[in-house]
Amino acid sequence: QLIQNGRPYAAIRCLGKILHAKHPFDNQRAVRALIAALHSSESVHSMDADEIVEIIKALQNDPGTNPDDLSRVEWAYLQLLDQHRDASPKLLGHRLANEPGFFCEVIRLVFRSKKEERSTEEATEERRSLATNAYRLLSEWRTSPGCRKDGTYDGDALTAWLDAVKKECSDTGHLEIAMTMVGHALIHVPADPDGLWIHRSVAAALNAKDAGDMRDGFLTELFKSRGTHWVDPTGKPERELADKYRVQAEAVEGAGYHRLATTLRELAGSYEREAEGVSSREASDDD
């Protein structure tokens, strides 16, 4: 009734109360309210973004939710589905990891083809909005290709996915940037069952001779994964990270992945230099 009367935000508030009281949840009603709210002129000053996120999480956890509806909702509310709210676009992330064509489509929305000349034509507002959302989706991507829902890893699925993406992105002129973005996602893979800290199929993919862009993306995302942090004037945290990545480098080198080991040593070296810089600044301040 509230949705039909042009009050989808009021309907969302009611749904939030239903969730809080742990009463039966109508996922179709929730989808209608969330989609209607995108085009509503209703005042949103009292609307709590966290409440919307909780409703979306409920949709994600409900096996009865229509996947197409959930994809539409996640895409529409991507700006709310981030780590700060302990949320993510789970279904869209799953699609990126399991549908090579969808991943390539998202890449094309964000990045210009190397085969095309730079356009002097200004992008439309709709095109910029699509690109922003697509980049946001890639930035929040945590489900790497090959990850199964039970937490195990399928190396053959990764290989097949990579082959399909490489072919399509080579054809469209997006190969380098696509492989870089894949490298970002690969930091989230599990350890190998034999005890190696990274699954061997992923280590092999990263170690390949033609995987330089993917290794660069992997290194960049590892560095970013530290997030914001307090600067310890002793440089101890940086030295600990340097030690961690040096140990990991030795492990993968011992397993035969020499190029990946070199990348990890580069990261260890960057933390060593950072530690030295912090210590030097502290010593200078004491003089």
Per residue in 19-33, pLDDT (tens digit) is: 776 777 788 888 888
Higher confidence at residue 4 or residue 266? 266
What residues contact 75, with CB distance under 8 A and at least 6 apart? 89, 92, 133, 137
Q: What is the mean pLDDT of residues 240-245?
A: 96
Cβ pair 158, 201 in contact under 8 A? yes
For residue 27, the surrounding DSSP H or E stretch is helix 27-37
Banded pLDDT at 6 (limits 50, 70, 90) = very low
The per-residue pLDDT for range 84-127, each reduced to its tens digit, is 888 999 999 999 999 999 999 999 999 999 988 776 667 788 88
Are the CB atoms for 243 and 206 separated by under 8 Å?
no
Handedness of CA 115, 119, 122, 124 (dihedral sign): negative
Query: In degrees rounded to 5, what are phi and psi of residue 147?
Result: -75, 130
Cβ atoms of 144 and 97 within 8 Å: the answer is yes
pLDDT of residue 267: 96
Residue reference for tokens 């994809």:
71
> How far is Cα 28 from Cα 208, in angstroms, rounded to an integer?
46
pLDDT, position 84: 83
Identify which has the larger pLDDT, 99 or 233. Answer: 99
Confidence band of 45 (pLDDT split at 50, 70, 90) = very low
Residue 83 has pLDDT above 60, yes or no: yes
Q: What is the mean pLDDT of the chain?
A: 87
Query: Which phi and psi angles does 32 have, rounded to 5°?
Result: -60, -40
| The two three-digit tokens of residue 265, written as one number | 């040593």
Do 54 and 19 meet the contact criterion of CB atoms below 8 Å apart?
A: yes
- Lowest-pLDDT range, 33-42, 63-72, 185-194, 210-219? 33-42
Q: Which of 40-44, 128-132, 219-223, 276-280 has the lowest mean pLDDT?
A: 40-44
